[in-house]
Amino acid sequence: MNAKKKTSPLHYTCILLPIALGIAFYFFNLDKEQNGFENALSDMENIHREDQRPDVFSTKESGTAKQSIFVSFSSYYNQDCSQILENIYKTASKPENVFVGMIAFIADPQKEDCMPRSWTSVCQNEMQFCPRANVRVHTPTKAIYSGPSDAHHMSRDLYRGEKYTLLIHDNTSFVRGWDDVLIERYDRASQIAKHDQVVLSHPLPRWLMYTQQEMDISDEVRSWNRAKLNDFDYFDIYDEHLSADNGPFEHCYASDSFLFAPSELLQMVPRDPNIQFLLHGGDLLYSARIWTSGWDIYHPGKSIAFRKCPYREAKSWSYVDRSWKALRKSSINRLQRILARNKTVFPIHDEQEKLYMGLLTTRHIAWYSTGTQRSLESYWEKLRVKILVEDPSDKGN
pLDDT for 265 beyond 50:
yes
**Domains of the chain, each with CATH number or no CATH:** 69-308 (3.90.550.10)
pLDDT at 157 over 90: no
Calculate what percentage of the chain has a pLDDT beyond 90: 36
Q: Which residues contact 395 (CB under 8 A, 6 or more apart)?
A: none
Instruction: Determine the residue type at 58.
Output: S
Tell me the mean pLDDT in the region 172-179: 96
Per 3-state DSSP, the chain is made up of helix, strand and coil in percentages (nearest 5) of: 40, 15, 40
State the pTM of this model: 0.80
pLDDT of residue 206: 87
Angle, helices 280-292/376-386, rounded to nearest 10 degrees = 120
Q: Say whether 261 sits in a helix, a strand or coil.
A: strand
Task: Quote the pLDDT of residue 37.
Answer: 47
CB neighbour list of residue 284: distance below 8 Å, 6 or more residues apart: 234, 235, 237, 253, 335, 339
Burial class (CB in 10 A: 0-12, 13-18, 19+), 380: middle
Lowest-pLDDT choice from 129-138, 157-166, 387-396: 387-396
Q: Does residue 13 surpass a pLDDT of 70? A: no
Cis? peptide before 248, omega within 30° of 0: no
Residue 187 reports pLDDT greater than 50: yes
**Reduced 3-state DSSP string for 382-394:** HHHHHCEEECHHH
Q: What pLDDT digit, counting tens, does each position of 67-90 carry?
A: 899 999 887 665 678 889 999 999
* Residue with more model confidence, 231 or 85: 85
pLDDT tens, position by position, 24-68: 545 444 444 445 445 544 544 444 444 455 665 665 555 566 789
Mean of pLDDT values over 362-385: 89
| DSSP H/E element including 120 | helix 119-123
Cα–Cα dist 110/168, whole Å: 25
| Mean pLDDT of the region 357-378 | 86
For residue 233, the model assigns a pLDDT of 85
- Identify whether the C-beta of residue 55 lies closer than 8 Å to the C-beta of residue 156: yes
Residues 6+ apart with CB under 8 A from 373: 292, 293, 294
Q: Is the pLDDT of residue 8 over 70?
A: no
Say whether pLDDT at 264 is over 50.
Answer: yes
Which range has highest mean pLDDT (108-122, 161-175, 264-278)?
161-175
pLDDT band at 294 (very low <50, low <70, confident <90, very high): very high
Q: Which amino acid is at 184?
A: E
Mean pLDDT (the chain) is: 78
Worst-scoring range by mean pLDDT, 12-26, 75-89, 222-236? Answer: 12-26
Which H helix or E strand runs over 199? strand 198-201
pLDDT of residue 392: 46
Q: What are the strands of the beta sheet with 258-262, ordered from one edge?
A: 135-138, 98-104, 69-75, 164-168, 258-262, 198-201, 296-299, 249-251
Q: What is the pLDDT of residue 241?
A: 86
Residues 312 and 347: their CA atoms lie apart, in Å, by: 33
**Stretch 249-278: mean pLDDT:** 91
pLDDT value at position 61?
53
